[in-house]
Amino acid sequence: MPLIAGIDIGNATTEVALAQTGGRETQFIASGIVATTGMKGTGENIAGIVASLEKALSGTPWTLGDLDKICINEAAPVIGDVAMETITETIITESTMIGHNPQTPGGAGIGVGKTIALAALAAVPEAQFADGWIPLIGDEYDFLEAVWLLNEALDRGVNVVAAILKKDDGVLVNNRLRKVLPVVDEVTLLEQVPEGVLAAVEVAATGQVVRVLSNPYGIATFFGLTPEETQAIVPIARALIGNRSAVVLKTPQGDVKSRTIPAGKILISGERRSAEADVARGADGIMQAMAGCAPVQDIRGEAGTHAGGMLERVRSVMATLSGHAMSDIRIQDLLAVDTFIPRKVQGGIAGEFSMENAVGIAAMVKSDRLQMQAIASALSERLHTEVVVGGVEANMAVAGALTTPGCAAPLAILDLGAGSTDAAIISAEGSVKSVHLAGAGNMVSLLIKTELGLSELHLAEELKKYPLAKVESLFSIRHENGAVEFFREPLSPSVFAKVVYIKDGELIPVDNLTSLEKIRTVRRQAKEKVFVTNCLRALRQVSPGGSIRDIAFVVLVGGSSLDFEVPQLITDALSHYGVVAGQGNIRGTEGPRNAVATGLVLACADA
């Protein structure tokens, strides 16, 4: 019996299904999966294809030379480098600054007064003792020295209302003062803070956040601002929301602006009509324009703008990889989602960041069968085996999904991958309608990385895939669902009081100061923005009547459907339309994976 391999080249993984075929009988033998090498749909995929074949064959009596036929998918690349285009940016000049939320501020309360060098406190005239004073304490002072000078001023009757330190000594200083003051530390650019200007310092109690300086009217009260000036300081107040400590000062020359960056317009060309969407209006406007132009033929960005630059980078990357001219590259789909992105506050005192509105965009390049044929020819030459390009991924996924026990046409499938979300529906007569959309697991990871301000995409991937917990003692943790788990042996001190994610039973600390609740919220919202949004629009496009309610059964396949919460999010969303959804179990053994590879084998066997 001939030995056939079906190979699904994905954005993240390359999967193989091996089978022997004879007549109408197909006997599956083994499966394999490895990480995809290179960008999907390029010649670099060949190394991963060979590795996946070798892995699948390793447990069988056959070798690469025994393969009679290989069938690969039509791989439409999805650019994994999703653009995050900022809509607004807060700019604070050198004469206006905001506090940075250190983890070790001292004291509590609010202090309003003039800034003064610590050494100059001794020279404050008696007539000005009652004025509020906020000493600036540089790194040339030891904390004991600073405390002695502060206490000496307090004993003389100087009204010291707060302190700003460069070193990480806030708690040490506060614990030795004769009076409880709000003390902010870790101000790395202290030398840029001017003296003799009115400032406000607020430190919240442990577990609390600032309330007065995160309120525009609170700042206006302290500085006596006019309504026009109050409107101008809104960006400062917004940047301080959620901080444990805050500092605001404003000189007469100070200026705060919230300006719009020319994010640009996206120009969408469809078969029947064209439209343009302004990125600055957010993701909803972009996706409405996309829906109105379906089916989309090409997407371009306005020249000289962020949107234009992003989409031209997509074309440039694909032109380089495929060898085609940039003008020949067509973008067939785009997913836009609203998000937030941390931007450095210009003029801040310690590298502060402010969360700004942004739009995340994932783009998909139109599939090039000639490029896939070139990959097939190169692979055939290397393995001395017949290699053919199979059908559209979604169609192959339907064939694979039908091997799930209990499944039969008519039904729809959702193939949730790393770069794309595919949907297909098969009628009782066997006709298939499919769609291939940009945006899936990679975009979720990037949203998590961006909104949490993580330095590594790998950590975002881990936070996406594994549940969280908080280590409450050396013998117990509290899971994100509220359940408490106890241990017989003490946990490692390295995870004590930290947020951790649980990977294969191991507690791995998250070296990020974000709370468990914030990480969980960002993670779930990212999955909803990408997977739920994409699944709903994909099903609408393949539904016979254009309505999701026309679909009765949906089978989830693909690597991302293995996620511990994505299937529940999609099932819940589809339940509002009366749709029954659940994970597939390809061939009764593979779970939701291997659907496309299995479908390719079945298609080759019937050819």
Q: Which residues are annotated as a binding site?
A: 11-13, 104, 168, 185, 461-464, 559-560, 593
Q: Which residues line the annotated binding site for ATP?
A: 11-13, 461-464, 559-560, 593
Q: Are strands 296-301 and 265-270 parallel, antiparallel or unpaired?
A: antiparallel
- Cα distance between residue 17 and residue 34, in whole Å: 12
- Cα distance between residue 381 and residue 375, in whole Å: 10
Beta strands in 291-405 (DSSP E): 296-301, 331-344, 353-365, 386-392
In which order are the strands placed within the sheet that holds 96-98?
96-98, 245-250, 198-203, 109-117, 133-137, 163-165, 183-184
- Cα distance between residue 572 and residue 570, in whole Å: 5
- Cα distance between residue 82 and residue 445, in whole Å: 10
Please list, in sequence order, all residues whose beta carbon lies within 8 angstroms of the beta carbon of residue 84, skipping any fewer than 6 positions away: 339, 341, 358, 359, 360, 446, 450
Closest CA to 465 of 550, 526, 390: 526
457 CB neighbour count, 10 Å cutoff: 15
Determine contact, residues 203/165, Cβ cutoff 8 Å: no
Q: Tokens at residue 95, please?
A: 């004469």
Please list, in sequence order, all residues whose beta carbon lies within 8 angstroms of the beta carbon of residue 405, skipping any fewer than 6 positions away: 585, 588
Give the C-alpha distances (Å, rounded to integers) separating 141 from 145, 176, 191, 201: 6, 15, 14, 21
- Cα distance between residue 526 and residue 518, in whole Å: 12
Determine contact, residues 135/109, Cβ cutoff 8 Å: no
Q: Which residues line the annotated binding site for Mg(2+)?
A: 104, 168, 185
DSSP secondary structure string, 143-156? HHHHHHHHHHHHHH
Please list, in sequence order, all residues whose beta carbon lies within 8 angstroms of the beta carbon of residue 20, skipping any fewer than 6 positions away: 1, 2, 3, 4, 26, 27, 29
Q: Omega into 61 within 30° of 0, i.e. cis?
A: no
Helix (H, G, I), strand (E, B) or coil at 140: coil
- Cα distance between residue 549 and residue 576, in whole Å: 9
- Cα distance between residue 416 and residue 440, in whole Å: 7
> 533-542 and 566-575 are packed helices; what angle lies between their axes, rounded to 10 degrees?
50
